[in-house]
Structure 1
């Protein structure tokens, strides 16, 4: 229940930051750096209170209350009149690929293509813009969006680019189309076999489609970007994130070298974005971080590992308990052995690191939930996460609560997949997919993200997909499996305080409360009041991080 604004200010009993009921009579003598007033401020505190104003000093919020109270007690060199508009805590994307997204901005953007012909056209245009690159790269195609919903083949790429290697990654990152030149450089033949991957062969010839671990054979041959390009990629990603209201991102799957670069840019003032970095479980990363422990600054938090258990549903790599409904006797696959996952879990627990595992299929989710349970033993505060948690057999749902396992979900996956997910899973099993409400009920909170660049970077799409369970055209009219929709309050919490909690950061960010970082955004319309069909069109007017403006529309 929302309290009155005046009672709200008095109710924040947080030491010196608390405003008394008589603050309106004070003369504004206490110094602040910034005052935001005349707004509809969604604090996202425990009671989901709203306020009108708050004061900021040294990058942190020092008081929250009515405009009269705050301006009566504090004076500041900078004031922001919110003009009645909605103010929210800075959004936190609980699962994204920030660094990879920045690099991908330099490749052909294939998202939204409606045919393979359009893919080829975009790739050709990209080559004309950058004729001297050693490789042609692109990302974002999805054959499920095409009239012919089949994987493409490399024939056209072979004709157009016989001497330049090409790799075009599917939207989910779990399949790719490559040309013959790329296959030759990687030494891939029709007889190439591996665990957790597939080289597609038809009639004894390679089609150019690689799935999951097979992609690594080619991507390993792509020259690494130089340091200048990496720094620019991070800056580009940051600028785009600030423009949509993101002030923190969980970057899922980084190497130490990239984390060191981020840390250096933070220290030099070249990048401001707060990063919750999930490490790749490489031997180098394990050796260093298990020896040295977690690493934490105000803008960088390194205390978790990102593990892949299976592939994606769209490329039929998700590991299922029963065969795919649209592919006889095919179950998808695990990307490593059960014992490898079990050994990793024991190591993470032993060294005090959070384990965050990608699991899409119901079989992969069951396996990881059981392994987590074996290691964690029961209720705990280690906050191990299952990333995506897309398809959950009903018999396994209670394991999230039983072992305090966090389901980290991306609502736009549901509204991107809903057109064809039923074909993959069948009528019964689709009911167990994207069960956000049921997952929320297990622990009482659920962090939300986008998985960008797999999905769009815009968190307003996340909100709309979570609440309305509809696509950009507001289809289906009644929503997709609405029994698992989230309320508006739940969705906003999932994008702020619950995301912070999944990162062990709920005491420093995720809400507008005294003592927390002054990370907040001002939006042109109120997410909590607009019609569902308006949600995706909302615009961020200002983004502030540490009390400093980092974006203005």
Structure 2
């Protein structure tokens, strides 16, 4: 039996250039059957259930083009220290949290950012030992590319002082781990979390996404248990997901996954993004290769031969340059992607455009990271002016994919849209319409799904969101305050 729904009396931004605005649309069996003026659509909708939105705004279901759902769901259960302004405040919060955890249990703090505390440093293992002597403690930097562990945690995770990225001062371990050491410690920590808890984390993040109006996610998980969970639980949630697998071998990518995730470098936050010149605030380093150029090229070729889309993490200018080299000779039809693309050289956007390489970016970075206190401090004022060149890329005809990198930033596309409109470099600001495209039709295109999703168009899946205000008409300084009222997947309202 056909299921029909007439959505009417609405301000509909379709993101379809053929019918950019509408008053109503008809859903039949989960797909858009008609769209246009209210009276015209109503004539075809005899017998359909009616949703009268009383003038509210409707946009396509948001698409988050880059998120780590299991990590995001887990982080939601941890102590969040984002916004704490001193190391003392952070230590006091960890001490209080430790009092609620059974002796010997893990205490995990997320959201730490050394550039946002007055001390401009990480806490030390000794400080964490003092405030939580009976617990292993892990403090994750918000970018996910470094952490600090206390002595119990160092032992529990089997951290070896010879690992690259283990920080020492005067020969003593500080507890800070970066790059390879951080990745190994993360893998050891993840292995201690039961599968049931990781499954719960995945489903929790799916609910978080739906409550934010997100109906589709390009999810990224490591090969093994997490990739298997993401595939196995697809049918347990209304959220549509694509899966990109972090793997050292293409053979480790399970059937059903859509792509391979590679890493050139780390992050500017942890001084591991690859730069051509040294960091302004740490002149002795210019970043770290996470995977060698030869490995990147070989894996990208193997993945394309298997029909997979390749997405490559590259943040620094040298990192982006190496990603472009890794993609040389690959098909532009696969829409291989560079993720983050934070500090490109002037020629990089043009090279991406010419080669059909998609840029996937996370605008909330430039909202949550202080421009002067972080970007200028890390790379200097001249290089900081080139960060996240959104307007430059759009003006060259590129289609940008927007995402959150959750749990690095929240699953909140309206925050991302707001951030792109309020870029700290005025010449790189997008219009609200351009920013909305990043999280709808252009994100769908970046995932080869523009024929099914990303716009409210006849024949497409009826994923849409009802908003409390119009992001294209509201005050630009209030976009991130707009509430998501209702989320619909295939024409059915879903709970968050």
Report TM bin, short chain. over 0.9
Q: CA deviation at 1:384?
A: 0.5
Contact 2:259–2:311 under 8 Å retained in 1: yes
Which protein has the larger Cα radius of gyration, Structure 1 or Structure 2?
Answer: 1
- Return the match for 2:434 from 470, 474, 490: 490
Q: CA deviation at 1:217?
A: 3.0
1:416 aligns with 2:368: yes
1:534 aligns with 2:478: yes
Contact 2:145–2:183 under 8 Å retained in 1: no
1:73 aligns with 2:41: no
Relative to 1, partners in 2 of residues 1:533 and 1:139: Cα closer, same or farther, differing over 3 Å?
same
CA RMSD of aligned residues (A): 2.0
| Separation (CA, whole Å) in 1 of partners of 2:379 and 2:37 | 52
1:398 aligns with 2:350: yes
1:73-106 Cα shifts (integer Å, max 9, x gaps): 2134532111111100000011111221011122
Contact 2:221–2:227 under 8 Å retained in 1: no
Question: 1:430 maps to what in 2?
Answer: 384
| Separation (CA, whole Å) in 1 of partners of 2:167 and 2:195 | 35
1:145-196 Cα shifts (integer Å, max 9, x gaps): 1112122212121123334322111000011010112222344354x143xx
- Return the match for 1:242 from 207, 210, 223: 210
Residues 386-535 of structure 1 mapped to structure 2, 5 A cutoff: 386-417=338-369, 418-419=371-372, 420-469=374-423, 480-535=424-479
- Return the match for 2:82 from 91, 111, 114: 111
Question: 1:202 maps to what in 2?
Answer: 169
The range that moved more, 222-231 or 57-66, is 222-231
1:228 aligns with 2:201: no
| Separation (CA, whole Å) in 2 of partners of 1:426 and 1:533 | 28
Residues 359-398 of structure 1 mapped to structure 2, 5 A cutoff: 359-372=314-327, 374-376=328-330, 380-398=332-350
- Return the match for 1:123 from 81, 86, 94: 94
Q: CA deviation at 1:212?
A: 1.8
- Return the match for 1:271 from 225, 228, 237: 237
Which TM-score applies when normalising by structure 1?
Answer: 0.85
Gaps spanning 5+ residues in structure 1: where?
Answer: 1-29, 296-301, 470-479
Question: 1:287 maps to what in 2?
Answer: 251
Q: Does the residue aligned with 1:370 lie in a helix, a strand or coil? A: helix
Residues 180-191 of structure 1 mapped to structure 2, 5 A cutoff: 180-188=151-159, 190=161
Which TM-score applies when normalising by structure 2?
Answer: 0.94
Relative to 1, partners in 2 of residues 1:442 and 1:224: Cα closer, same or farther, differing over 3 Å?
farther
| Separation (CA, whole Å) in 2 of partners of 1:225 and 1:329 | 37
Contact 1:34–1:76 under 8 Å retained in 2: no
1:370-426 Cα shifts (integer Å, max 9, x gaps): 221x2327xx21101000000011133321012111111111112233132011111
Contact 2:98–2:135 under 8 Å retained in 1: no
